A and B are shown apart, each in its own frame.
Chain A
Amino acid sequence: GENVEQHPSTLSVQEGDSAVIKCTYSDSASNYFPWYKQELGKRPQLIIDIRSNVGEKKDQRIAVTLNKTAKHFSLHITETQPEDSAVYFCAALNQAGTALIFGKGTTLSVSS
């Protein structure tokens, strides 16, 4: 089945710096790659997603890039703020194209 690897597991940055989280996936047929932000004890919230027909998508301070050949995609957060501190999960659709398979998560800490 689909396997999603995510790195790093923890990331600490200073306010204003950029943060980059990387994920790789195993199933070349996957075509949908969302990123979720989860605050402690709360539900995951979709922050951005990308489909396999595009290579990059941006939404204000957040961007995602996709390299289908290499089967990896990355989340970029610019001008980080303390409220960006959370756990971020990447995901990819499973082989059946029905369920999301998640990476192990990255705990992002932004210090002011």
Chain B
Amino acid sequence: SYVLTQPPSVSVAPGKTARINCVGHNIGSKSVHWYQQKPGQAPVLVVYDYSDRPSGIPERFSGSNSGNTATLTISRVEAGDEADYYCQVWDSSNVVFGGGTKVTV
């Protein structure tokens, strides 16, 4: 089965840039989506198709995808960005989530 690997945690200072990697075999050939989950809340889609944003999501959130690594980048990080982030792909008729990354600001 397909596996997505994320770092457990990332720390970033306010105003700096956070980068969260999602590693999977040949993930660059797949459509990658990213979700933000704050404590006690449901996940929220922040980036889809590795680089597009739903309405209402700030431009500070962006994505890239190449080779075996997809990356969610959060620019000019704010305190409100502190959350867990999950990558997700569709593989062989299965939805696959990464293990999640806790971003601490």
Q: Do A and B come from one complex?
A: no
